[in-house]
Structure 1
Amino acid sequence: MNKWLIFISILSLSSFSFANSNFETELRSECAKVKSYANSGRKFYDQKQYQNALGQFQQQASWSAFCAMHSENSGVSFSENAIATAFNNVGLSYFKSGKPQWARAWFSVFPQAKSSQFNLKQLPPPQKTQNLAGIYIRHAGFGHWNTIQVKRIKNSYQIHFNGLYMGLNSMIY
């Protein structure tokens, strides 16, 4: 009986170690791609292909933030300034695509960064409205966003919440 318990314990530990090893291998692989995402994004941006640049820069921002958080496993570290630059790259792509609200959101993730402060000053001031309808966003981490969409329906509002991390997706009336 004790031999089986020891065998199962060793098997469990080795499978955990294997899973952890796979995670680290995949993490290192993805973290190594951050520079290529930045270079590809810059290439598209310089060619005024802002939508293509946007996808590459979003990958750069997401992975640089995630890799920085897991630097002990990834073997790669990114400074806060490097991550802020990645987020600003996304914001600039949104701005050039005619979406200053999204640009403002991305610039605002690192409001203390000098590049963010500069870029925020370049944006037109947000329009003030008395209407509650619209899309409201909040940074959820790693370059992802939670959204609330408010729609006016007759004498009430329909609210749709889309939460990234908890898999929340609900309608409130």
Structure 2
Amino acid sequence: MKTVGYKIVATCLTLIFLASFSVNASVTEQQIQQDCKKTARYSADGNKAYKNKDYDKAREHFTTQAAWSEFCQETDDKTSTAYNNVALTYIHQNSPLKAKAWLNLSPKSQKSQYNLALIKEPLATLPAPTDFSGEYWQYAGFGQWNTFTVTPKGPKYQIEFNGLYMPNMALYYGPNIGELSGLITVHDNKAIYKGSEQSDDPQSTCQISIDFSENKNKVSLMTDGECGFGFNVVAYGDFERVTSQ
């Protein structure tokens, strides 16, 4: 990957999670207002780690920056800045597909368009997928992603779905979650996961239709029945590939 000089754009809003917060406590309006006034800490910490080339640590701070920017309903420009900061950490780690996923959260912003142009060549040089294996993402909100992972297992594929539902107060009380795994057989880019064939419960009504795109860069899910996920968690919609082969 060509080496390019990148510059982090600092945001006006960077907030921290409450380290000692109890999920049983009530969150007051005053507390939220105070949290939404903590403007610089995560941006500064992210920039410090970024300048030290500790991109994993920088990404932690910038992801939290993005989450709180969404929660506090900051301007689109400030939230886009946070997305771009996360993307830049992936660019420096030669992960252009993950960078693209973050940049496409605000594709019309000038920052995103600039950084999308930077990864155009690295994306073009990635080898085309030869099978369906890989990791696929779908944005869940507040800096978190639903993931769908596919791994070859002989003539079949092992799938793992990790889904989230992010309620309005998810940054305080946490998300609702749902997990699922099992073996599938793919024919003509399509497969069906049946819970009754995978679990200890032969009465399971969980069924997920899985449709891979022709170029193997996207997978679409549709769920029927009850899969035992948390409230409002569902395996549904389009997931974009974020790993190359």
TM-score by length of 2: 0.55
Deviation at 1:34, TM superposition (A): 4.1
Aligned with 2:77 (options 68, 75, 81): 81
Amino acid at match of 1:64: S
Aligned with 1:57 (options 45, 54, 62): 62
Q: Which has the larger radius of gyration?
A: 1
CA distance in 2, matches of 1:26, 1:157: 47
1 or 2 for the larger relative contact order (CA 8 Å, sep ≥6)? Answer: 2
Query: Relative to total residues, which structure has the larger strand share, 1 or 2?
Result: 2
Deviation at 1:130, TM superposition (A): 2.4
Change (3 A) 1:85 1:153: same
Q: What are the ranges of 5 or more consecutive residues in structure 2 without an aligned counterpart?
A: 1-24, 166-175, 184-245
- Structure 2 residue aligned with 1:167: 177
Amino acid at match of 1:146: N
TM-superposition CA deviations, 1:36-95 (whole Å, max 9, x none): 211221122123222221111111111101111xxxxxxxxx110110001100110121
Q: How does 1:14-53 map to 2 (within 5 A)?
A: 19=26, 22-53=27-58
Amino acid at match of 1:169: E
Deviation at 1:26, TM superposition (A): 3.2
* Fraction of identical pairs, as percent: 36
Q: How does 1:23-172 map to 2 (within 5 A)?
A: 23-68=28-73, 78-123=74-119, 124-125=122-123, 127=126, 128-165=128-165, 166-172=176-182
CA distance in 1, matches of 2:150, 2:54: 31
TM-superposition CA deviations, 1:18-40 (whole Å, max 9, x none): 94xx3323322332234221122
TM-score by length of 1: 0.77
CA distance in 2, matches of 1:153, 1:113: 41
- Structure 2 residue aligned with 1:72: none
Query: Relative to total residues, which structure has the larger helix share, 1 or 2?
Result: 1
CA distance in 1, matches of 2:28, 2:69: 16
CA contact (8 A) 1:34 1:64 kept: no
Q: How many residues align?
A: 145
Deviation at 1:102, TM superposition (A): 1.5
CA distance in 2, matches of 1:55, 1:142: 13
